């Protein structure tokens, strides 16, 4: 298995509080992505990074920010959590040398009450 660790694995938080999810990789891959997965919507890209300090928005970026200060860590912050951000969040990494293979973490189940 690719070395990707997401933390926490489960979290319950209150509406209006900030929340930070962490993705840590040991593969030294250049690209990192945050997706959310919701019933009826599948996986949707929130933000991604193509290098240290290089990030860009995805399809559903409103209400989220990211930071990548070193290759191995990619943080996703919900600035003020809302119930619509209750979801399962997946981090993925990729290197894109040869085949385009993205490895996914185990997911973080976030509930906003």
Q: Is 22 in the site for another protein (CB under 8 A)?
A: no
Q: Enumerate residues 33-62 that contact another protein by CB under 8 A.
A: 33, 35, 40-45, 48, 50, 56, 58
Q: Is 31 in the site for another protein (CB under 8 A)?
A: yes
- Distance of closest approach, residue 95 Cβ to another protein, in angstroms: 10
> 14, 81 in Cβ contact below 8 A?
yes
Residue 44 in 3-state DSSP? Answer: strand
- Distance of closest approach, residue 30 Cβ to another protein, in angstroms: 10
Rounded to whole angstroms, the Cα distance separating 109 from 27 reads 24
> 78, 64 in Cβ contact below 8 A?
yes
- Cβ closer to another protein: 36 or 72? 36
> Total binding residues for another protein by CB under 8 A?
26
Rounded to whole angstroms, the Cα distance separating 113 from 90 reads 20
* Cβ neighbours of residue 98 closer than 8 Å, sequence gap 6 or more: none
Among 11, 10, 36, 7, residue whose Cα is nearest residue 21: 7
Query: With CB under 8 A as the contact rule, which of the stretches 16-24, 65-73, 76-84, 101-109 interacts with another protein?
Result: 101-109
Interface with another protein (CB under 8 A) = 31, 33, 35, 40-45, 48, 50, 56, 58, 90, 92, 94, 96, 99-107
């Amino acid at each position: 298995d690719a070395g990707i660790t997401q933390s926490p694995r489960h979290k319950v938080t209150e509406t209006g509080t900030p929340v930070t999810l962490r993705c840590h990789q040991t593969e030294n891959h250049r690209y990192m992505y945050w997706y959310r997965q919701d019933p009826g919507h599948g996986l949707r890209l929130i933000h991604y990074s193509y290098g240290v300090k290089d990030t860009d928005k995805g399809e559903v970026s409103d209400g989220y920010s990211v930071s990548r200060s070193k290759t191995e860590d990619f943080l996703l912050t919900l600035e003020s959590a809302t119930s619509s951000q209750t979801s399962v969040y997946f981090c993925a990494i990729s290197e894109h040398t040869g085949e385009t293979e993205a490895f996914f973490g185990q997911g973080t189940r976030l509930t906003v009450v």
